[in-house]
């Protein structure tokens, strides 16, 4: 998957991941869905959809679900303020039914963490809702080529999170190292999420760090840890970390 740095916010020209300027790839016919409440706003975004792309529109979440089922567009321009969407969680729900959908989320994001949450939910791009039509057209081209359109300021955080998630998945797949005593006897009953969080604890991640990486509340993380402790019989966090092969976790 390539990486396109967002030129409107980075102050740099649009470049592919290699850092060399290339001619745009030839356009191929594709359907682009536009999901936005206001007709004027949809018309504005539609002007960025150039030939040979075809635009289809939805003004409500229910209409968008029906459109995705019937038309199966290649790209979705999704207004973060679409009524009923419910933020990144709503995007995750949409992608359960259309996992191949390449989504560009447009909105007035309040923080970097909000943008990152949309990327975690499966977005291929995040843009300000007032992005120029020229840059929006470039973003559509980029995601159709399989690239991610992202601001420079977010690339480090996103790469770090992907590495942490991969390490946690590897640790969970490797399986816990069982002790000879009673601790660890209930490890088979841990859910996939409980194993993932236990592996992250073993690596030394704190509760706030785990919450940020998994887009969970800190209280939710603590609840998962409590259940993992109870099921495994580990007794405390240090022993739970040892069960998952990570040694004693860092202090909290």
Residue extents of the structural domains in the chain: 3-150, 158-243
Quote the percentage of the chain above a pLDDT of 90. Answer: 36
CA distance 132 to 174: 47
Altogether, the residues listed in the chain come to a count of 252
241, pLDDT greater than 70 = yes
Would you state the CATH architecture of domain 158-243?
A: Orthogonal Bundle (1.10)
How many other C-beta atoms can be found within 10 angstroms of the C-beta atom of residue 211?
Answer: 18
More confident site: 175 or 135: 135
Quote the percentage of the chain above a pLDDT of 70. Answer: 75
Mean pLDDT of 188-210: 83
CA distance 186 to 215: 27
Residue 186: its pLDDT value, please? Answer: 62
CA distance 105 to 158: 16
Is residue 179 very low, low, confident or very high in pLDDT (cuts 50, 70, 90)? very low
38, pLDDT greater than 60 = yes
Q: Where are the alpha helices (DSSP H) in 121-175?
A: 133-144, 152-174
Residue 127: its pLDDT value, please? Answer: 95
19, pLDDT greater than 60 = no
173, pLDDT greater than 50 = yes
Instruction: Give the homologous superfamily in CATH for domain 3-150.
Output: Response regulator (3.40.50.2300)
Residue 167: its pLDDT value, please? Answer: 66
List all residues 6 or more positions away from 162 whose beta carbon is below 8 Å from its beta carbon: none
CA distance 2 to 200: 28
**Domains 3-150 and 158-243 fall in the same CATH topology:** no
Measured at the alpha carbon of residue 86, what is the angle toward residues 92 and 5, in degrees to the nearest 5?
60
Sheet containing 102-107, strands listed edge to edge, beginning at the edge strand earlier in sequence: 3-5, 148-150, 125-128, 102-107, 75-79, 31-35, 54-58
Is residue 8 very low, low, confident or very high in pLDDT (cuts 50, 70, 90)? very low
Query: Quick one: which H or E segment has residue 94?
Result: helix 87-97
φ, ψ of residue 246 to 5 degrees: the values are -105, 5
198, pLDDT greater than 50 = yes
- Taking each helix axis as running N to C, give the angle between helix 87-97 and helix 61-71, from 0 to 180 degrees, rounded to the nearest 10: 30
Q: Residue 92 has which token pair?
A: 């995750």
CA distance 98 to 10: 31
Is residue 137 very low, low, confident or very high in pLDDT (cuts 50, 70, 90)? very high
Say if residue 210 is exposed, middle or buried (CB neighbours under 10 Å; 0-12, 13-18, 19+): buried
List all residues 6 or more positions away from 2 whose beta carbon is below 8 Å from its beta carbon: 16, 17, 142, 145, 146, 147, 148
Is residue 5 very low, low, confident or very high in pLDDT (cuts 50, 70, 90)? low
CA distance 85 to 207: 28
């Amino acid at each position: 998957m390539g990486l396109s740095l967002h030129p409107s916010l980075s102050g740099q020209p649009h470049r592919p991941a290699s850092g060399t300027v290339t001619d745009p790839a030839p356009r191929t016919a594709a359907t682009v869905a536009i999901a936005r409440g206001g007709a004027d706003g949809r018309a504005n975004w539609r002007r960025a959809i150039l030939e040979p792309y075809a635009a289809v529109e939805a003004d409500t979440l229910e209409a968008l679900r029906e459109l995705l089922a019937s038309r199966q567009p290649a790209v979705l321009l999704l207004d973060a303020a679409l009524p009923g969407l419910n933020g990144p969680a709503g995007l995750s729900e949409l992608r359960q039914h259309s996992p191949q959908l390449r989504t560009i989320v447009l909105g007035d994001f309040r923080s970097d963490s909000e943008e990152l949450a949309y990327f975690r939910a499966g977005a291929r791009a995040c843009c300000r809702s007032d992005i120029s039509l020229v840059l929006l057209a470039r973003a559509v081209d980029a995601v159709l080529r399989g690239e991610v359109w992202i601001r420079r300021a977010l690339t480090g955080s996103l790469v770090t999170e992907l590495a942490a998630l991969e390490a946690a998945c590897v640790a969970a797949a490797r399986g816990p190292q069982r002790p000879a005593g009673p601790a660890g006897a209930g490890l088979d009953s841990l859910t996939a999420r409980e194993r993932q969080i236990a592996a992250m604890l073993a690596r030394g991640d704190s509760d706030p760090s785990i919450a940020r990486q998994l887009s969970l509340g800190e209280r939710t993380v603590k609840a998962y840890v409590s259940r993992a402790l109870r099921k495994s019989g580990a007794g405390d966090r240090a022993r739970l970390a040892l069960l998952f092969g990570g040694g004693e976790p860092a202090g909290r």
